[in-house]
Amino acid sequence: MAMELKLSSEFASRIEYLPETGSTNTDLLAFAVSKPELWTDFSVLLTDNQNAGRGRLDRAWVTQPGAGLAVSVLLRPKAFGIEAFGWLPLLAGLAMKNAVSSLIEDQEVSLKWPNDVLVNGEKISGLLAEVLPNGQGVVIGAGLNLKQSKEELPIENATSLGLHGVTNFELDDVLVRYLASFRRLYEEFSDASGDAEESGLHLSVQEASSTIGSTVKVLLPDGSDFAGKAVGLDGTGRLLVAMSDPVEIRAVAAGDIQHLRQ
């Protein structure tokens, strides 16, 4: 099945639609390794029928046919190295936040560190970044809920474009908003040699974040947890959490964040 992606193709070096796949991230990682000359910087792979995708911490990430968008973008940056890669999923999240904001008016669209986009506090999109085996690139996958009803969503605290009255659109109409914002932010970040301060990315992500300024519970990969107030991001994109007992600020590189009622 071919799909017209005339708008989105303007922003990708290569773009391919798959009628069905297990995971666009898995596929694009394999393509990037096996055929690097064909899959260059800002190549894009997408589907609206993903049946074996993975979220963070190996959670299932499944898109029912036609109900959601799964899109992966390959980045092979030349202007900066792996030390700046921590900002790339945040950059992609900001791009998705911008895309959703352009579609859903008069609602609060925000970023939840590190990888979710929320509408009025409900998840509409999640992202997953995976570094290439040689460390010289990264694949960033994003899932966006398009047409699901409340009953069809995998978690209670989730939403979709359709639930906010966004209907009768082509996949290309949604995708181009994400890729256009992503490409602009990526080029600005590259022009600044991966400096999040100089490019303005640091400030933009902080301003878009509903996590920063909130009281949060941090669930770490080793099973431990702690609570505090999220106060900002450090120079590598880690979340800074101020604790009162003991009094310290901890930098979180990976973990699940729960926003606590204040």
Q: How far is the C-alpha of 97 from the C-alpha of 207, rounded, in Å?
A: 12
The 3-class SS string of the chain reads: CCCCCHHHHCCCCEEEECCCECCHHHHHHHHHHHCCCCCCCCEEEEECCEEEEECHHHCEEEECCCCEEEEEEEECCCCCCHHHHHHHHHHHHHHHHHHHHHHCCCCCEEEECCCEEEECCEEEEEEEEEECCCCCCEEEEEEEECCCCHHHCCCCCECCCHHHCCCCCCHHHHHHHHHHHHHHHHHHHHHCCCCHHHHCHHHHHHHHECCCCCEEEEECCCCCEEEEEEEEECCCCCEEEEEECCEEEEEECCCEEEECCC
Which of 254, 217, 210, 253 is CA-nearest to residue 235?
A: 253
Q: How far is the C-alpha of 203 from the C-alpha of 69, rounded, in Å?
A: 28
Q: Answer yes or no: do 184 and 230 share one domain.
A: no
Q: Mean pLDDT across the stretch 100-111?
A: 95
pTM (2 d.p.): 0.93
- Kindly tell me if the per-residue pLDDT of 110 is higher than 90: yes
Q: Answer yes or no: do 79 and 171 share one domain.
A: yes
In a domain, 95, yes or no: yes
- Kindly tell me if the per-residue pLDDT of 56 is higher than 80: no
Predicted confidence at residue 57, as pLDDT, reads: 47
- Chain-centroid distance of CA 186 in Å reads 13
Mean confidence (pLDDT) of the chain: 92
Q: Answer yes or no: do 251 and 178 share one domain.
A: no
Give the CATH number, domain containing residue 222: 2.30.30.100
- Which of these ranges, 44-53, 67-76, 80-89, 209-218, has the smallest mean pLDDT? 44-53
Predicted confidence at residue 262, as pLDDT, reads: 59
Q: Answer yes or no: do 177 and 251 share one domain.
A: no
Q: What phi and psi values does residue 247 have, to the nearest 5 degrees?
A: -75, 110
Q: Mean pLDDT across the stretch 62-66?
A: 70
Give the CATH number, domain containing residue 151: 3.30.930.10
Q: Answer yes or no: do 38 and 116 share one domain.
A: yes
**Confidence band (pLDDT; 50, 70, 90) for 168?**
confident
Predicted confidence at residue 89, as pLDDT, reads: 96
Predicted confidence at residue 101, as pLDDT, reads: 97
In a domain, 1, yes or no: no
How many domains in the chain? Answer: 2
Cβ-contact 33, 19 below 8 angstroms: no
Residue 238 belongs to what domain range? 212-259
Predicted confidence at residue 1, as pLDDT, reads: 44
Q: Answer yes or no: do 144 and 243 share one domain.
A: no
In a domain, 181, yes or no: yes
- Count of Cβ atoms closer than 10 Å to residue 156 Cβ: 8
* CA 88, 89, 95, 97 torsion-angle sign: negative
pLDDT digits (tens, 9 = 90+) for 182-207: 999 999 999 999 999 999 999 999 99
- Kindly tell me if the per-residue pLDDT of 62 is higher than 70: no
Predicted confidence at residue 50, as pLDDT, reads: 86
pLDDT digits (tens, 9 = 90+) for 129-158: 999 999 999 999 999 999 998 988 888 899
Predicted confidence at residue 67, as pLDDT, reads: 87
